[in-house]
A and B are shown apart, each in its own frame.
Chain A
Amino acid sequence: MNETPKPNSFRSGPDEDGRFGIFGGRFVAETLMPLILDLQGEWEKAKNDPAFQSELAELGKHYIGRPSPLYFAERLTEHLGGAKIYFKREELNHTGSHKINNCIGQILLAKRMGKTRIIAETGAGQHGVASATVAARFGFPCVVYMGATDVERQAPNVFRMKLLGAQVVPVSSGNGTLKDAMNEALRDWVTNVDDTYYLIGTAAGPHPYPELVRDFQSVIGKEAREQILEAEGKLPDLVVAAVGGGSNAIGIFHPFLDDDGVQIVGVEAGGRGLQGVEHCASITAGAPGVLHGNRTYLLQDHDGQILEGHSISAGLDYPGIGPEHSWLHDIGRVQYVPIMDQEALDAFQLLTRLEGIIPALEPSHALAEVIKRAASMRKDQIIVMNLSGRGDKDIFTVAKILGMDM
């Protein structure tokens, strides 16, 4: 798998079978094959349809609040004493994270396809909230599958989804986290093939999901690239983002992939350390396998049984990663590194005090990596980090760890 030849462009994937090198593909039950072929056909038409693109842009501007700012973090930069640090402020989007970019795009597809019911899976609840939001905005009934463990630890988001009119179904099979929620969403889809649109939240799953989620999220990187050129007159030296399934990361990475001088780093959840099984570092500590419709790096045992990971951040608590990331790792274009729970927690607190921004625990992982690297970089060098979500949802988790009563 390390013999993939270097392509002319890193941005041309996937091929027509949905492959990025050996990764990706369409590993689904026969019942679902006609559905994902339909989706692929509709997506091909939509992406070349000016009316679709303009509706997407309008909603992006007036409903989501795009473009999101590229913010120079002056005090953090001073504090670390090295490279200039910029944040792509996706946490300022409607619903508080990058997830809405993809949801708006996919709900427009669902509408085009004449579907009348939306299903989604969620881990931290950010994608569930974004799905429930667009379902409310477009008048679709919406069912969100969420692991029972996550329902408990993300109670505020569960309430938000219910307020928005979605039905939240707790999934207690397995360990009751994101992967189990995804299994259950797939079971729903296989049962309700005629009227249901499955709104996948991350750049994973069977083709064409990794491609279309990436394309909807690439607005992040496109804007960031223009904004940094305007602010600094040059491209950044380093782009950093956290990776669970990897949609915020591929969204900011993709437009920079062919820029030779830009180093790109994806940050995985190192949890309590990589020695045992209490982490979610699929690339750093996993192996290629097949799950949820695609081949990618997975946390698994020697028998090919999928392991449950652990992360302080529910949004990174998934034993796989989008297939394009697996490919970018294998060909060496993007470097993937782990950050531990404690490092993320320290970064969370530092940013809150220095910049007055409470980040979500997911981008706090990216931030911890930025903190590690910035000081040893020159002052004329530039880092762009995707601040993919805000931390309001995480204050209960953090309070508990810090021993505070709320």
Chain B
Amino acid sequence: MTARMDARFAALKAEGRPALVTYFMGGDPDFETSLGIMKALPEAGSDIIELGMPFSDPMADGPVIQMAGQRALAAGQTLAKTLELAREFRKTDNDTPIVMMGYYNPIYVHGVDKFLDDALAAGIDGLIVVDLPPEMDDELCIPALEKGINFIRLATPTTDDKRLPAVLKNTSGFVYYVSMNGITGSALPDPSLVSGAVNRIKSHTDLPVCVGFGVKTAEHARAIGAAADGVVVGSAIVAQVAGSLTKDGKAGPDTVASVATLVRGLATGVRAARLVAAE
């Protein structure tokens, strides 16, 4: 684990509450606005940032994140610019862990070694690469771990007990439990099923388990947060960005502020999670 990720989860443990992990798409709707969103996230109560890397063919994403990626690419976003977002952010925040999330091809084309060096220099703490399962660990996971960057793996309902050890083997930072089979932005799963799944994963690992897919409101965040070490919110934030844009798809006057408002609400939910769970 990187020092930032360690320190953040240790602090959360001391506080006795789950993490709020917030995803946004780098470069959506443009570089400057997305930098503004990124800077606003920690202040609004986000504990860990997932920085989306746009890709032309996001095969595991629903329409909300697909369209965000298209907006970002249309505005000229590239992998180099997404790394630049992190570098700019680190100038004023050296504590909040940043996890880059996306698909492998832009990284492969950038060059794996060069990408890892650039990511370290930009202050990246972890990677989530959707289309690199454990069978493909030699591609990026092992080189990333060797350089001290966490490789965060997705576990899903199809990851059974037989497969779970292989999935967890080279996972570090935290485990991202995708709470249902499907694409991002799907409906909220039954929190009781989530709790069972989290316990199942925890019986195989000491890593924190964060849960995502379908969390949209403070109440969702509270319910999922009661059962997990962290709650991941993605599509809801991206949809908030989309809803704030002008008719021609440009940043609106309230884009950054409306995302911050949403995240403040989600943060309230996360902070209430354990209080209720303890009752």
What residues of chain A have their CB less than 8 Å away from a CB belonging to chain B? 17, 25-35, 173-174, 179, 183, 186-187, 190-193, 287, 289-293, 295, 298, 300, 302-306
Contact = CB atoms under 8 A, between A and B. Distances in A.
Given A27-B132, A33-B163, A183-B57, A303 B158 contact: no
A172 to B, nearest CB: 10
A30 B156 contact: yes
A35 B163 CA distance: 12
Interface stretch (B12-20, B103-111, B203-211, B265-273): B103-111
Contacts of B78: 303
B142 to A, nearest CB: 15
Interface in B106-161: 106-110, 130-136, 153-160
A158 B126 CA distance: 45
30 contacts: A17-B135, A25-B136, A27-B104, A27-B132, A29-B133, A30-B153, A31-B156, A31-B157, A31-B181, A31-B182, A33-B134, A35-B158, A173-B63, A174-B57, A183-B58, A187-B62, A190-B60, A289-B105, A290-B108, A292-B57, A292-B59, A293-B131, A295-B108, A303-B78, A303-B79, A303-B80, A304-B106, A304-B107, A304-B109, A305-B106
Nearest to A191: B182
B178 interface: yes
Given A29-B131, A30-B159, A290 B105 contact: yes
Contacts of A306: 56-57, 105
B136 A27 contact: yes
B133 A191 contact: no
Given A26-B136, A27-B131, A187-B61, 9 more contacts: A29-B60, A29-B131, A30-B167, A33-B163, A187-B59, A292-B57, A300-B105, A304-B79, A305-B55
B186 interface: yes
B183 interface: yes
Contacts of B59: 29, 183, 186-187, 190, 292
B55 to A, nearest CB: 7
Given A29-B130, A290-B108, A303-B109, A187 B158 contact: no
Closest 7 A/B residue pairs (Cβ)? A304-B109, A304-B106, A191-B182, A305-B56, A304-B105, A31-B156, A303-B78
Most buried by A among B107, B109, B183: B109
A192 B79 CA distance: 32
A174 B153 CA distance: 28
Contact of B154 (A29, A174, A179, A291): A29
B133 A30 contact: yes
Contacts of B259: none
Contact of A31 (B55, B58, B109, B178): B178
A300 B156 CA distance: 30
A287 B158 CA distance: 33
Contacts of A292: 57, 59
B160 A289 contact: no
Interface of B: 55-63, 66, 73, 78-80, 103-110, 130-136, 153-160, 163, 167, 178, 181-183, 186
A379 to B, nearest CB: 48
Contacts of A183: 57-59
B183 A34 contact: no
A35 B160 CA distance: 12
Contacts of A305: 55-56, 73, 106
Contacts of A192: 181
A178 to B, nearest CB: 12
Contact of B60 (A17, A34, A187, A298): A187
Nearest to B81: A303
B158 A31 contact: yes
A174 to B, nearest CB: 7
A190 B109 contact: no
Contacts of B159: 30, 33-34
A367 to B, nearest CB: 32
A187 B66 CA distance: 12
Contacts of A190: 59-60, 181-183
A187 B132 CA distance: 16
Given A27-B104, A27-B131, A300 B183 contact: no
A308 to B, nearest CB: 9
Contacts of B163: 33-34
B136 A302 contact: no
